[in-house]
Each structure stands twice: as C-alpha cells, then as structure tokens.
Chains A and B, each alone.
Chain A
Amino acid sequence: MHPAFSVIFLTTLIGVGQGLFLALYTGQLYSVIKVLPVQDSPGFYGYGSLLALVFLVTGLIASFFHLGHPERAWRSAAKWKTSWLSREVIVLPSFMGMTFIYAMIHINGWNPVLFSLSEDFIVDLSLLVGAINTVLAFSLFICTAMIYACIKFLQEWATPLTVVNYTLLGMASGFALSTAFAAYVNSDLINFYGGWAIVLTVTAFITRCASLIRNNNIKYKSNLSSAIGIRHTKIQQKAQGSMGGSFNTREYFHGAKPAFFKSIKWIFLVLVFAVPVALLSGGLANNMFILFALAFVVQYVGLIAERWFFFAQANHPQNLYYQTI
C-alpha cells in the first residue's frame, strides 16, 4: 500500500494521546488505593489530560487531509454496525470529549464524592469519568487497528498482532510522554511512569518483531493464476490497459526503492525501541527531564517510520493485475 501521511499522523498522534491519558488515570487510580502518592489535581491530571487532548486534536485534524470531502465527515458515523472506520469515528470524539471533561473536573475542582467502596476507596466524579474514558481509550485502540486487521486479503494486516501492536505502541509512546511530563512538573511519579514506559516498549518490541517474523513468512493466497482464472505456472502480464499509471498504480504500491524500504525497518526498530529504552534508563538514573523528552521525541519519530513501514509492507492482491505497463 502507499503510505498516506495523514493516516500515519492520525494513528500515531492519537496513540500518544490515548497512552498519556491511560498513564495519568493509572496514576490517579493507584493514588486512590494508596499505591502511589496523590498528585496535584489541576496541575497534574488536569493539564496532563489537556496535553493528551492536544495530541488527539492534532491527530483528528491530520485525518481530515485523508478525505476527498472533509465537509461530509459527519456522515461517517452512520454505518457503525458494519464498519470499523465508522466505529472509530464515533469513539474518537467520545474519547476526546471525555478527556476534556476529565481535565475540566480536575482543573476546576468539580469533583464531588459519589460513593465509597470501602473506607479507603472513595470514588469521586473524576475517577468514574476516568474509568469510562479508559474503556473508550482501549476501544479506540481496537477500532483503529481493526480498520486494518479486518481486511482479510491484506494478509500482513489481518492478524490479532495488529491490534496488539497498535495498543502497545500507543501506550509505550504515551507513557514515555507521561514520564517527560512528570519530570517537567517535578512529580514523584517519574520512576513509575519511566519504568512502565520501558516495560511497554520492550513488550511492544516483542510483539512487533513477532508480526515482522510472521509477515516475512506469509504465504499469499492469491496469485496471478487465481486472479485471471487461468491455470498455468507461467503467466506474464504484457499490458495493464493504461500507460501513464492509474489510481491502481498510485494507491497500492509504496513506490520506494527496495533499499530504502528495508532500511526503514531497521530505522524504526532502533528509533522506537532501542534508543528510547536507553534514554529512559539514562533519564531514570540521572533524573534528567531532557533525556525523557528526547526519549519521547525519538520514539515518536520512530513511530512515524514504523507506521510508514506498516502500510508499505502490506501487499494488496490487486497488485497482481498491475505488474507491468
């Protein structure tokens, strides 16, 4: 497939936003059950969620560049019963709205106690809103990934690993950002977030490698013989019907040189996994904000390469009809 930067930015940016929100809410939840110290409500959870919202909004704006008719985008909520894209279109704004409400509750202190499960476990409004939003965050990961994983003949994508990777990579980048954010506001959650950022990055490395290995050994179900229905081992295309290219040659081929294509794989493996883990470890050892910030930036740049490779690697069966001019 031809990687579209609008979609690359959408999927990576909202992944960061979802991951950052999950990190903040984990921090809040753990502080309620007294595993972690309580943070300053407006300054930490409130502005942290607004930061997540910035990423979500930027991602949403990027996605509009993918559309031929952005002014009709509202129509895309219609077919949620069958289309994962439609489901994403519903879940993403819901998640953004709830993130905004979560931020407002913390910033303005609209946080009445709703009920208590025990003497220590007191549920206030922000905790409830956050719990609902956590469900939305994970639903959004599933919707986004299933858009790709549900197309069964794009065999590189049609695997549960796609969902796992979108979720873990989004969370890893979000937790990396939360570490930098915690360091920036001098919170005492740096070690908690930094530790989890490393754990998530290493786990994502394992699952992403698993999908790379799987995709290396893919046996394609379609071939030229099934494409034109003639049983012969030697079939060659002589003409594709047009000489100046078409949508079919532009949309489904990445068009990059093989050396470039291969190098992107190694580039993203280094930038998404190796360098951030080293920088996060260095940051945790020296408690330096700049290292955490650098870890996040490097990982995000790596994620752009990772998503580019994800799209470029998918081999669409229609390409069988467009082997030569």
Chain B
Amino acid sequence: MSNVTDLTTPPPAFFEKRKAVFPKQIDGPFRRFKWLVMAITLTIYWGTPWIRWDRGPYAPDQAVLVDLANRRFYMFSIEIWPHEFYYVAGLLIMAGIGLFLVTSAVGRAWCGYACPQTVWTDLFQHVERFLDGDRNAQIRLDRAPWTFGKLFKRLRKWAAWLLIAFLTGGAWIFYFADAPTLQQDFWTGQAATVAYATTFLLTMTTFIFGGFMREQVCIYMCPWPRIQTAMTDEKSLIVTYRHWRGEPRTRGLKKASEEHLPTGDCIDCMQCVQVCPTGIDIREGPQIGCITCALCIDACDRVMAQIGRPRGLIDYATELDCEREKLGEAAVPAIRRLLRPRTLVYLGLWTAIGVAMLFALGTRTRVDIAANADRNPQFVRLSDGSIRNAYLVKLRNMQSRPREMIVSLAGLPGGQMWRESETRAQAGRSLRLAVPADQVLRERIYVVAPATGAAREDFAFALQAADDSTEKARDEESFVRPGGMQ
C-alpha cells in the first residue's frame, strides 16, 4: 500500500448528487414533431382498450385484450393461444431489430421521441412549466425558502402529476380485462385486488419516474443507452454539434471582429443547454445523456437566424460528414447515409421476420389434436382376446364458435375406438365430437385392436373439422400390445 497520503485532494465521492434540470420552453420544427408523436402515442395508449371489435357471442368484443385469466391474447382479428406465444416472441424480435435499424440509421430516435419515459417526462415538464412558469421562474422557486406560497405551488404541481400518473397507471389495467366493465368495477370497489395493486404501482412509478427521476432513468437505469452507444457508428445520423463551424466560441462578436480575432458561429448563448431535458451540453460531443430529442437544434437554429448565420450549427449529421465538411467537401446526402448495407441488412431481416410471421399467421389451422396414452396399464386384454389401449385426447377449437370435429384412426388395421362415456357396441373407425367455442375438449378414448401385430404399432389420430375439410391436424401415437402376441 502507499504510505504517502495526499490530503490536499478531496476524498472521492461515492455517488453523484442529481443536478436539477429546468428545461426551457422552445418552439421549432422538432418540438412540433415531438408534440405530434406525443399526441399519437398517448392517444394509442389511452384509447386502445376502448376500441370494440365484434367477435360473436363466444369471445370478448375488446379489440386489444390480454386475457390472462383465460390465457387468450386478442389483437383485432388475431387471436393467440398460449402455445402460439412465439408470435409474440416474433413481435419482440421485430421490435428489437426495428430498434437496431432505427438506431443505426438515426441514432436514439426511440429515446428522443417515442420512449414512454421521454413522452411522460415531456408531459410532466409541460405541466410544470404551465403551473410554475418557465426555466427562470422554476429556478427561482426552487431556490426560494419554504413559504406557504411555495408549498402551495409544490402541492399543486404534485397533485397535477399524481392525477396524470393515476390516469396512466389506471389505463394499463384496461388491457387485461373488458375495459367498460372493469372501469365500473374499479370505481365501485369490485375489481380484483391485482387491478388496484397494479394501478397503485404504476401510478407511483409514473409519478416518481416522470416527476423526479426523469433523465436519471435514462442515464443510470436504462440499459438501452449502453447498447446504443455500441449500435451507432460514424455513419449514423445523430444530433451533432458542428465543431469545425462553431469553434472558437465567441461571446462578443462585434468586439472580436474589430480585434480581428478568429470567431466561430457559436456565441456561447447556452440556449442548447437550457432547453435540454437531460441537462447536457451537446457541444461536448456524443454522450450517454443525449437522447437525441433535437430540441437543441430548434434552440440553436433560432439563435443562428437572429445573428444572421446559416442554420444547422447543431443538426442531425454523421460524424463522417462533419469530417468532410471540415475539409471543405460536400456532405453525403442524408438519403445515401440512410441506405447503406448495415441498415439494409437490418431492414431485410425485419421484413423477412414480419413476412414469415404474416405467412404463418395466414396459414395456421384453428384446430389441433393431442393425445396422451395411458401408461398404467399400457394395455388391457379383453375377454375376446383383443387388446385395448386408452388415450386422453385433447381437441383444440381455436375459433370463437362451437365446431363439430371428426377424429379418425389413421393406420392400425382392425382397430376401433369409442369414448369412455359410450360402450364398445358403439365403437367405430371415427368419432364425431362437438367442441365448444374457443375451448379444449378432453375426451378419454378407448382403442381396441386384434392381439396379433407388433408389440408397438404406430398409428395416428387424424382430426378434421366437419365443416371445413382443409382444417386438419394429426397426432402420431403408438398402440401397445403385450410383448407382441405369438
């Protein structure tokens, strides 16, 4: 160990205290685009559970419904059963590759515009500005001593946030049950405990994440920024400060030009920093705190217009183009930057998975059969010398209407079958069964066959919908005999 102790340097801090961020109001094309995205995403979030979709008398009429209790997932005309959950896995993979695609093309667009953390933080900040005033007023209020007036303003703000948070957390549960019914039950205290618990939990997370933690969630809690720093490269269009154009930063332009000092376009007005919702300085280069919301572009463009310089000192640009521009060459058009092998590969993958899923979805059958043979005993010798096996057969009817299905024996010559509730006198090569809508019918079926034959003879239960001969399914099974009759 070192025996020399330097007492002049301060002890290392083990954590960093959050620096409060008071983003300034700004207007501009990107801000207006963010308004639009916010309106769309919030409308989707709050509106979706209330869309109705008629599926007939045997299925719920909610367009998007995750019915955990009955293990069904409804999305408009698509109904997914638990064993088809790979469609959801496929959607998640598409979402993942979609993020890769977007990130490699235009950086953290998801973070900047569509991420719920961004959307709700943005909403909360608007509420904050509406109630407490813009940046400077907020800073004054923050520094002011705790008076009755400040307490009132704080409580007013928190109440507004809490209301939004409650509406947010409360809307989530409508995705998991019939929305109008659940709303009524919720207010009359008859909803399930889990509905109240979920609402409470999501209200609190929305309130805390959107009101207090904000950029801390993006910088410290979210893994995505770390992944994205590896996904963007020098050809990605990201929010960039044109270093070569801005430096050296000059505060007093007039004075500097009189003294013939070199001047850059950046007048160090700090507008880009003040509008930043995560409180960073984009001029320090790409960094983990930048969610590429592009508000600094709006801020800088206004200033550039005021001082009569071209827009785009801060702009969507690639690192390579900045290098080229610095050397006086023309930048590559954005469209060519977007269409490069890497993005095209991502796009191809994304499209291929999407098309494959659509194809699978279009060709899937809505009937299925699965049989389980009795194992104890595996076989029973009957008084006429024949051998009986028993199977628990499950028939899946994945449509929202009752259906007649025909189960027949494929193979097993001389074999016959009958239901447990029937007698052998009713045995035949096939059975006609009524399967209730959207249900699995469990039927114990006896199969009898002559004792002569292989000890294990393969056959199949073949299923066919009575009203549609194209809907078929099979389950391969074995018929077991005692040691193969002599």
Do A and B pair up? The answer is: no
